[in-house]
Chains A and B, each alone.
Chain A
Amino acid sequence: MTAERDGAPDRPDGSDRPAPVLAELYQELILEHYKRPRNKGELEDADVEMHLMNTSCGDEVRLQLRLEGGVIRDARHMGNGCSISQASVSMMSDLLKGKTIPESIELAQRFTDMMHGDPVAAREKRMGALRALAGVSQYPVRVKCALLGWDALLQALKKIGGEEEEEHGTGGSEGRDR
């Protein structure tokens, strides 16, 4: 059951609409991440940190990443806000570990696509638990809650890319290793 929840099961008919039971599972999954967030806390040896606040609703996320050889080895977050913003960043922090920077950017892009109503993105296995958030796309006013942590991720990765460019004079965003 736990594995199924964490993996956010597919609907048998392949539709992006959650079936009633699935809707309950999704709801539980989000509340589970909200009440018991994964990877919450400080990273002492973070390579990059990004703090973002949604001024219109007060939601707040501070994301820290540790990378080795261009791969995200650890991701931690702090902050507060609604269950959507906090569950989203919690799920994200789980998925990021072991991903390269390009893979992380691609995941962020697919999640953004899902939040903008892309039904294909909402069915992709690699989205894992994030698929529970697909229903949020119905409400433009709440999409920014779900995207807050991802915006922090993209800005953090951009920061790394910028620093790297300064250090090595390359245009790429990979290969940072401290």
Chain B
Amino acid sequence: MDAQLTRWRAETPAAAAGLVHLNNAGAALMPAPVLEAIEDHLRLESRAGGYEAAEQVAPLIADAYEDVGRLIGAGGRNVAVVENATAAFALALSAFDFAPGDAILTTRNDYISNQLMYLSLARRQGVDVVRAEEALEGGVDAQSVREILRRRPVKLVAVTWVPTNSGLVQPVTEVGDECEAAGVAYLVDACQAVGQIPIDVSRLRCDFLSATARKFLRGPRGIGFLYVSDRALADGRAPLYVDMRGAGWVAADDYRLAGDATRFENWEFAYALLLGLGEAARYALAVGVEEAGRRALELAAYTRERLGALDGMRVLDRGARLCAIVTAQVGALDAREVVAELRGWGINTSATTRDVALLDMDAKGASSAVRISPHYYNTRQEIDIAVGALRGLV
């Protein structure tokens, strides 16, 4: 084991103690400094009072925004901290005044909650939900996006970078180029991408990007963020329901939006988790997201190779580019039972079922799949343990 890996594992006490945690796409194990930042602030709140604690550490709170910004190539002023990626995505959608006949262009692989939001907008606002064609190898075809943008007016393009139910990586940069050329607003869901794929929002050319702390970023549960571009801020994009954090009530019948992305925030949120999010961003920057992704990807490729060699196991991941999420159908077994069995042996994985990814799972002819998601702090030995356990189940 190399020195870096030894250090990362030492800073991940559960992994060092022998837990085989291959559920980083669910919620990764937090490194010790992240946990420490959260605990420190909770202790300070209990000593000083919640509001007073936040005042005392105002510089660190501001720093958390800057660190999250650095992680995605943005400034702190472009970051809004919210409860999770889905909340962030919903806030971004609410910044558009959809009218009947307006189109949202998306993909067949977008995350279930995003698909439900589009369908809700279709049902309540009369929005057209248009899904671009798939490329032969899987994932959205950027050429199809271009053709649709040429053919009809589109109000917003929304793409999930990495769907939760497979190892697919969608070509968000290429789609961003098409949006830029067509002058159409662009929203990227980076929930499963942040922490395993380097992000530079200026390369993506996106107006909004939603993300969470708890997955490959290794932050706490219950917090996420929304990137809001300078362009979106200058255009006056704001959530439908503005909070006192996001605007000032300047006259009886008037309000003024905050100049930065805080216009998307609520006044109240968990400062301990915010500081944990900032620490997770700093930790990821120190590890290097490129290096983290390279190691995680290598472990995922090894997992696919080992699983593919097992009789009765079908690896389901498709796409020109794959990430550190591995999905496989385990014989005729329900993946939820497989996950429960593995957990009994100290191996954490998760299950994905048809109902969370209707279009993709039907295309693959699978009703459920076990999801194995290693990260850079995992080892080949842990993969071998998981594969050995699965071999006994098939």
- Chain A residues close to B by CB (< 8 Å): 17-20, 23-24, 26-27, 30-31, 34, 55-58, 82-84, 87, 132-133, 135-136, 138-142
Contact = CB atoms under 8 A, between A and B. Distances in A.
A26 B59 contact: yes
B66 A18 contact: no
B283 A18 contact: no
A81 B3 CA distance: 23
B62 A142 contact: no
A133 B58 CA distance: 9
Given A17-B52, A57-B286, A82-B67, A30 B37 contact: no
Contact of B59 (A17, A19, A27, A57): A27
Contacts of A18: 55-56, 58
A82 B63 contact: yes
Interface in B45-88: 48, 52, 55-63, 66-67, 70, 76
B37 A139 contact: yes
Contacts of B61: 27
Contacts of A24: 58
A141 B59 contact: no
A48 to B, nearest CB: 27
B141 interface: no
Contacts of A87: 59
The 8 closest A-B pairs by CB, nearest first: A58-B286, A23-B58, A23-B55, A27-B58, A83-B63, A27-B62, A30-B59, A83-B66
A140 B283 CA distance: 15
Given A19-B55, A23-B56, A135-B57, A82 B62 contact: no
A31 B60 CA distance: 11
A18 B60 CA distance: 13
Q: Which of B59, B60, B70, B285 neighbours the largest number of chain A CB atoms within 10 Å of its CB?
A: B59
A20 B61 CA distance: 14
24 contacts: A17-B52, A17-B55, A18-B55, A18-B56, A20-B55, A23-B55, A27-B62, A30-B62, A30-B63, A31-B66, A57-B33, A57-B282, A58-B286, A83-B59, A83-B66, A87-B59, A132-B59, A133-B59, A136-B57, A138-B56, A138-B60, A140-B36, A141-B33, A142-B60
Nearest to A87: B59
B40 interface: yes
SS of A interface (majority): helix
Given A57-B283, A139-B40, A141-B33, A26 B60 contact: no
B55 A138 contact: no
Using C-beta atoms within 8 Å of the partner chain, give the interface range for chain B.
20 to 34
Interface string B359-383: 0000000000000000000000000
A82 B275 CA distance: 13
Nearest to A84: B63
A24 B56 CA distance: 10
Given A56-B33, A139-B37, A139-B40, A82 B282 contact: yes
Contacts of A138: 40-41, 44, 56-57, 60
Contacts of B36: 140-141
A34 B37 contact: no
Interface string B19-45: 000000000000001001100110010
A19 B54 CA distance: 11
Contact of B76 (A31, A57, A139): A31
Nearest to A30: B59
A111 to B, nearest CB: 15
Given A57-B286, A141-B37, A135 B63 contact: no
Contact of B40 (A17, A82, A140): A140
A20 B57 CA distance: 11
A87 B342 CA distance: 48
Contacts of B282: 57-58, 82
Contacts of B55: 17-20, 23
Contacts of B76: 31, 83
A18 B37 CA distance: 20
Contacts of B56: 17-18, 23, 135, 138
Nearest to B59: A30
Nearest to B55: A23
A23 B53 CA distance: 11
B279 interface: yes
Contacts of B48: 17
A19 to B, nearest CB: 7
A120 to B, nearest CB: 17
Interface string B132-164: 000000000000000000000000000000000
A30 B60 CA distance: 10
Contacts of A17: 48, 52, 55-56
A57 B281 CA distance: 10
B40 A31 contact: no
B62 A83 contact: yes
